[in-house]
Structure 1
Amino acid sequence: MNALTNHLIVVSFDCLSALDFPFLQTLPHFKTILEKGSYVEKVETIYPSVTYPCHTTIVTGNYPNRHGIINNTLLQPGRTSPDWNWFRKSISGTTLYDEAKKANLTTAALLWPVTGKAEIDYNLPEIFPNRPWQNQFLVSLRAGSPCYQLDLNQRFGHLRNGLNQPELDDFVLESTVHTIKTKKLNLLLVHFTDLDTQRHEYGFSSNEAIAAIHRHNDRLGRIFEALKESGIYENSTIVALGDHSALDENKALNLNVLFHKHNLITSNTKGIINNWKAYCKSCDGSAYIYVKDRHDKETISKVKDLLNSLLSDPEAGIEKILSAEEAAKMGADGSCAFMVEARKGFYFLEDFQGDYVKTITREDVLSDHKYTLACHGYSPKKPEYSTIFMASGKGIKQKTIVPEARLIDEGPTLARLLGVDLGATDGKMIEELLLLDDK
């Protein structure tokens, strides 16, 4: 299969929404992509619509229950900071960067989720220390390309301030620009989280979120400049995309509080979970309900009755209850007992002590980053909850507008641009965007 481009640069702006489209049309560098290339107006995300499953879907073309990344974090009841799906080994099947590597193409990834210890030539994976004895630089170094990271840290490490934004994305940008100028890349995956952070902390339409989109426009401009300075702009394809949207909320639901009261979760005198029969695993706007023993019909029945009792009360915050089979049909983890969807204005946490419903204030967000004022994870069928996909450059048609596509369609489309094959995927190529030889 022939490649449609020599250099594919995929830039993920985490939490970029289809609702942002009118604003993007006014910003010069986003406008460049829209005027010189083509775009999808509304991209349907996946379920649950959280970052790590979404980004794995983008590079595989598959739903979470097929590629294996069914949530951001692992099911570890009682652990205050559960481990994330950081490592490539957690993904089932192949990925865009695996196939590029097999085709002897040069690959790089900067803070792209679930790339820890992946076979990527220049890899700065998204990973952070979640244990007291760990160090940010060392956990990243061990999970990625050591020499590459040492060089980037020496050059641009001063820009970082831990995981704080916008400093983290400033570091990623300078690293991206340097990588473009110094490496002969065929595939570059870049993940910016500034906008997602601002929406979580301040709300969807906040001034802080708008300022982040302005910064993303500037970042996009710097990437254009780097491609031109390196002499590969005319033979490159730029893709700018989002992974999910977000919805404002101000109430957190703690189903584990109810499970604790009904002895489905037990804890010791130090307030630590020592056993559980049922557990609510948050995906922010949705949640998995797991039963430890899937053959425990009594517990399953008890949980079902408890959930149904909440469904009729709008103040209880639950919009829908899905069976395991229904969750699997939507691409989510079919090994759960149930999946629950929050009403607009609500989201899920995993606390098992305190109140079932907690109203979130700005002070809560400032004091504890588990609290947010906007989040995602909701069903892709929620109204006004689409994301966006835009592309320009080699192999891309000009001024073609595709009304709708799905996040699962992006992987096959990116693979076709590179001339590689992801095999049988849940998604299909968005042919309308591409300059195919046989069209």
Structure 2
Amino acid sequence: MSDTVQTSRPESPAGTAPGQRHRLVVLSVDAMSDVDVPFARTLPNFARILAGGWGSAEAIYPTVTYPNHTSQTTARTADGHGIYANEKVSPGVRTPDWFWDARDITAPTIFDLAKEQGLTTATVGWPVTGWSPSIDIAVPEIWDRGGLEPTLAVLRDASTPRGREYVDRHAGEISWERKHKFGRFNTAVATDILRTDQPDVLFVHLVDVDSARHATGRFTAEVKEAFERVDGWIGEILTALEEAGIAEETNIAIVSDHGHVEVGRCFRANNLLVERGFVRLDESGEVSSWDAWVHGCGLTGQLHLNPEADDVTVEKVLALVDEWIDDPEIPVADFHALADMTEDYGYAGPFFGVLEGTSGTNFQNLWEGRSLYGRFDADYTFLISQHGHLPEQDIQAVFAMVGPDIAEDVRFTHCTVTDEAATFAHLLGLEFPDADGAVVGEILRARV
């Protein structure tokens, strides 16, 4: 086994005594919303953290996991950090690669800043941390649809050398039934890291609430059970802090990345693009060439135009989009040009604009079958609730903290996920060179 990671600490942030810089643990409860807080307060370990300061947090666009988790480590929106979706656009590919790789991020992360200042960092299941050049102990979120063994292989490859030791030690905790389940594994790794290495910074991602909502709906018995399960895992992490003797010197955060909207239909825009000849198929039904492509991003879709498409083709595609908006049988409510999305939401990427679905419309990348599947259709086998909507729509995410630098029993009204990252940096005495967020001063004992 490698030696324990050694901790060195730069100067204390404003508002703390010299030598009193505190550790930071960030727990992402994926898809937790502010309306979940009353129930979460009935659970013992959520209640301990919510007893500090908390409030609603607005996601960046798109309201999906990987862009928002990257904002929580960079204080930037998507045009600043470059992670524009969960998956990389891949026209004609049925299962595109996700943004697993930390080297795709185009802005400094809190882990980069921490490394420069001699702080030690660890991440467990945190999105976009594979192959990280800065994290001391990284066990990223990554999987292979081929099953458990190929998943373990790619997980070991994407982890840092120290992280691989934890993967090997706890690999038996990964569950694989119909799909991967990492909650138990992530908790086991996180608690082991706290007891063994005691890093200055630890970020952990727990996804069970999100998975339950996708599969069963926003507020179901399964979602309640997921919250209870996650509460138990949070309790294990809090216990590990206590057993390591560092609980009193640690600020602890709960963050989330988006709410959920009930799904009423699934829309395959690429099916309509095939019908109009903008996507062409070979004899086996696979995509052979394309002029336009809609990359599903939950409840919205990115409109991609082939760089080689001529002006006439572009005009025809945009005219077709206008037809969709005007047709009450097609669930497209609006089209937002990229320049408008950048100005209004700090959103950018390799696409022409964004299709906004009518309420409860989930976009899919696939092109076969038919263009629309409704919840009452006999062959509907898709998600029950989803996200990816515009940030101001529907219920909001949540941000909560407790610890030596956090005021007690504070309720603030609103922040953004980029504000969360700015707050984490401030607590560690770090500063992003560019930030779209600001410190949430309301929750701090020493206001800024």
TM-score, normalised by the number of residues in structure 1:
0.93
| Correspondence for 1:382 | 393
In structure 2, the residue matched to 1:144 is 159
Q: 1:299 — aligned with what?
A: 313
Contact 1:114/1:126 (<8 A) preserved: yes
Equivalences for residues 312-351 of structure 1 within 5 A: 312-329=326-343, 330-333=345-348, 335-351=350-366
1:47 partnered with 2:61: yes
Separation in structure 2 between the aligned mates of residue 67 and residue 375 of structure 1, nearest angstrom: 24
Report whether the alignment pairs 1:373 with 2:384. Answer: yes
- Relative to structure 1, is the Cα distance of residues 315 and 23 closer, same or farther in structure 2, using a 3 angstrom cutoff? farther
Q: Which residue of 2 aligns with 1:190?
A: 204
Question: Aligned to 1:149, what secondary structure does the other structure show?
Answer: helix
Offset of 1:294 from its aligned partner?
Answer: 7.1
Q: What is the aligned partner in structure 1 of residue 406 from structure 2?
A: 396
* 1:425 maps onto 2:428 in alignment: no
Paired amino acid for 2:369: G
Corresponding residue number in structure 2 for 1:129:
144
2-structure distance, mates of 1:228, 1:132: 36
- What is the match of residue 174 of structure 1? 188
CA contact (8 A) 2:299 2:360 kept: no
Give the superposition deviation at 1:202: 1.0
SS class of match (1:316): coil
In 2, the alpha carbon distance for the partners of 1:298 and 1:184 equals 60
Residue 49 of structure 2 corresponds to residue 33 of structure 1: yes
Instruction: Tell me how far apart the structure 1 counterparts of residues 296 and 57 of structure 2 sit (CA, whole Å).
Output: 24
Aligned counterparts of 1:362 and 1:124: Cα–Cα separation in 2: 41
Alpha carbons of structure 1 residues 151 and 60: separation in structure 2 relative to 1, 3 Å: closer
Cα drift, residue 145 of structure 1? 2.1
CA separation of 1:340/1:72 partners in 2, compared to 1, >3 Å: closer, same or farther? Answer: same
What is the rounded CA distance, in whole Å, between the counterparts of 2:424 and 2:378 in structure 1? 42
* Amino acid of the structure 2 residue aligned with 1:11: L
Partners of 2:148 and 2:236 in 1: CA distance: 37
Structure 1 alignment gaps of length 5 or more: none
3-state SS of the aligned residue for 1:353? coil
- 1:153 matched to 2:168? The reply is yes
Give the corresponding residue for 2:25.
9
Q: Deviation of residue 319 (structure 1)?
A: 2.1
Q: Cα 1:166–1:134, aligned 2, differ >3 Å: closer, same or farther?
A: closer
- 1:250/1:372 contact within 8 Å kept: no
Shift of 1:268: 0.3
CA–CA distance in structure 2, aligned partners of residues 74 and 167 of structure 1 = 22
Count residues in correspondence: 430
Q: Distance in 2 between matches of 1:281 and 1:251?
A: 17
User: Whole-Å Cα distance in 1 between the matches of residues 430 and 305 of structure 2?
Assistant: 41
- Tell me how far apart the structure 2 counterparts of residues 298 and 376 of structure 1 sit (CA, whole Å): 34
Report the residue type matching 1:43 in the other structure: A
Q: Secondary structure at the match of 2:63?
A: coil
Identity %: 28
- Once the two structures are superposed, residues 202-233 of structure 1 have per-residue CA deviations (whole angstroms, 9 ceiling, x without a partner) of 11112111110111111111111111111111
In structure 2, relative to structure 1, the CA distance for the partners of 1:79 and 1:306 (3 Å cut) is same
One-letter code aligned to 1:129: D
| Matching residue of 1:84 | 98
The aligned residue for residue 93 of structure 1 is 107
1:23 aligned to 2:39? yes
1:180 to 1:197, Cα distance in 2 relative to 1, 3 A: same
Where 1:135 maps in the other structure, the secondary structure is: helix
The whole-number CA distance in structure 2 between the counterparts of 1:9 and 1:202 is 30
Contact 2:270 2:367 in 1 (8 A): yes
Q: CA deviation at 1:124?
A: 0.4
- Contact residue 262 and residue 384 of structure 2 kept, 8 A: yes
In 2, Cα distance between equivalents of 1:177 and 1:261: 53
Shift of 1:165: 7.6
Task: Give the match for residue 104 of structure 1.
Answer: 118
Q: Is the contact made by 1:100 and 1:420 (CA closer than 8 Å) also made in structure 2?
A: yes
For residues 11 and 18 of structure 1, the distance between their equivalents in structure 2, rounded to whole angstroms, comes to 15
Map Cα deviations across residues 176-206 of structure 1 (whole Å, 9 max, x no partner).
1111111121000000111111111111112
1:129, distance to aligned residue in structure 2 (A): 1.8
Q: Secondary structure at the match of 2:390?
A: coil
SS of 2:218's equivalent?
coil
Q: Please state whether the residue corresponding to 1:127 is helix, strand or coil.
A: coil
Partners of 1:164 and 1:433 in 2: CA distance: 41
Amino acid at match of 2:31: C
What is the Cα deviation at residue 79 of structure 1?
Answer: 1.1
Q: Partner residue of 2:417?
A: 407
Following superposition, the deviation at residue 394 of structure 1 comes to 1.7
Would the alpha carbon gap of residues 363 and 333 (structure 1) be closer, same or farther in structure 2, given more than 3 Å must change?
farther
- Deviation (angstroms), 1:175: 1.2
Superposition deviation, residue 132 in structure 1: 8.8
Amino acid in the other structure paired with 1:68: G
2:218 paired residue among 192, 204, 210: 204
